[in-house]
Amino acid sequence: MPEQTYLDAIRAALEEELRRDSAVYIFGEDVALGGPFGVTKGLAETFGVHRLVNTPISEATVMGITIGAASAGLRPVVEIMFIDFITLAMDQLVNHAAKLHYMSGGQLSIPLTVRIQCGISGAMGAHHSQSLEAWLAHVPGLKVVMPANPADAKGLLKSAIRDDNPVVFIEHRGLYRTKGEVPDGETAVPIGKAAVLRQGEQITIVALSSMAGPALAAAKELEADGISAEVIDPRTISPLDIETIASSVKKTGRMIVVHEAVEQGGIGAEIVARIQREAFYYLDSPIARVAAPFAPVPASPTLENQFLPSKDKIVEAARVALTHG
């Protein structure tokens, strides 16, 4: 299987879908020129500038336009440069995109994909490094996916574009350069299905997006101490695939949840609340969350590193869980 970077895998998905369906259009700032991170480089040359639409810096209205276009037969993919700027389009996303199908009693459908970059990469401070996926996972009517590797990035983006509902596709900027095997051709990864990255017996580590790497590293280190850890990547945080996680916890009896977003009000809370309901009697130790502290992202690189959950913090949390009960 050919190896691709996370970024190239995303471009490949966009290219395949643009070719497959003439209703697919890509909107965003500078997308016809390759986009701020080069994800759409070269696409305008092949598909024409009328399908890769450069927009002014008006996130609220551009989001509204793509929702309107989606309700009128197109299948738009709109790029919001940083997830921090989703704040400007909250009203259109929350009050319109997510609700029109339901409020119209099924008459309208909004086949829209919202591509967003998230996460810490390169000391950019509080307005360019946040992880705000929990806000969106709270909105009924939106689906939210967060790929952790190139294969899932391509597969989930294809599924998102083909889905007839508004899907928020959150790609982590820090993963752009990571490489991985990507099967070519039709490889749609289903939305709403978690992936078991590593089998294990004694503890379940649920790790989201950028945290999959550190979690796998932590699992390796734990193995050296004779502790077998199972690592699960939810891949989709709305709707959450609780069955896969629950069946793993029923096997291991212990769980920790890891994500880059701040802990308070994060997606981890929902996973913990659901798992303690589904597998209460199987739990041998309290479920722990390893996430960012409740503070804006600092700019200074050292503070930023301290801010991020790390392999060591995961290993330490796993050890605490194993000593309990």
Partner 1 sequence: MTADERVHLINGTFLSLSPHRHVFQDLQKKFGDRMIAPPISELGFCGLATGAAMAGLRPIVDLSTGSFIYEAWPQVANEAANAFSMSGGQTRVPVVFHLFHGLRGGGAAQHSGSPQAMLWNVPGLEIALPSSPRDVKGLFKTAVASDNPTIFVDHIRLLDIRGEVPESDKPIPFGVADIKRAGGDVTLIATSYTVQVCLGAAQKLAKEGIEVEVVDPRTLVPFDLATILSSVEKTHRVVIADETHQSCGVAAEIAARIAETGFDKLKTRIRRVSTLDVPVPYSPPLEAHIGPTESRIMEAVRAALI
Partner 2 sequence: MATKKENLKEVVELLRRMWLIRAFEEKVSALYAERQIVGLLHLGIGQEAVAVGALSLLHDDDYVYGGHRSHGHAIAKGADINKLMAEIAGRATGYCGGKGGSMHIVAKECGFITATGVVGGTIPLALGAAFASKERKKGQVAAVFFGDGAGQAGPFHESLNIASLWRLPVIFICENNGYAEFTPLSAHTKIERLAQHAKTYGIPASTLDGNDLFAVRNAMTKAVANCRAGKGPVFVECLTHRMRGHYEGDPAKYRELSQLAEWKKKDPIARVARMLRSKQAITDKELKAMESKARTLVEKAAKFSLSSPWPADGSLTSQVYKTT
Partner 3 sequence: MFVIRHFEESLVPLHDKGVFSGHYHLYIGQEATGVPALSCLRADDYLFTTHRNHGHLLARGAEPKRLFAEILGRVDGLNGGKGGSFHSVAPSLGFLHSSGVVAGIIPLSTGTAYAAKVQKNGRITVCLFGDGSLEEGAAPEAFNLASLLKLPVLFLCENNGKYGSGRAVAAAQSSSMAAYPLTDLPKAYKVPAQQIDGIDAGLVHATILEAVEKIRRGEGPQFVEAQTVRYPGSATNWPTVPAPTDTALAWDVTSVPEKAREWYRSADPLLVYIRELVEAKQASRDEIAAIEGQVKTAISAAAEFAVNSPFPKLEEAETGFFA
Partner from partner 3, partner 1, partner 2, none binding residue 49, C-beta < 5-8 Å depending on class: none
Residue corresponding to tokens 């508004």: 166
Q: Which amino acid is at 53?
A: V
Query: CA–CA separation, 234 vs 111, rounded Å?
Result: 23
Q: Is 67 in the site for partner 2 (CB under 8 A)?
A: yes
Active site residue 128: yes
* CA torsion angle 61 65 71 73 (round to 10): -170
Length of the chain: 325
Q: Catalytic pick from 16, 29, 59, 171?
A: 59
**Contact of 231 with 215, CB cutoff 8 Å:** yes
Per-residue binding string, partner 3, 121-150, x by CB under 8 A, is -xxxxxxx----------------------
- Contact pick of 65, 124, 269, 320 for partner 2 (by CB under 8 A): 65
- Contact pick of 61, 300, 305, 306 for partner 2 (by CB under 8 A): 61
Nearer to partner 3, 64 or 213 (CB): 64
Residue range at the interface with partner 2 (CB under 8 A); choices 12-20, 63-71, 124-132, 145-153? 63-71
- Contact pick of 23, 41, 68, 88 for partner 3 (by CB under 8 A): 88
Cα 171 to chain centroid, rounded: 6
- Residue 83 has a CB neighbour count (10 Å cut-off) of 24
The dihedral sign for the CA sequence 195, 216, 257, 208 = negative
Query: CA–CA separation, 305 vs 301, rounded Å?
Result: 6
Q: Catalytic pick from 96, 101, 128, 259?
A: 128
Residues contributing to the site for partner 2 (CB under 8 A):
25, 50, 53, 55-56, 58, 60-74, 76, 91-92, 95-96, 99-109, 140-141, 143, 163-165
Q: Which residues are catalytic?
A: 59, 128
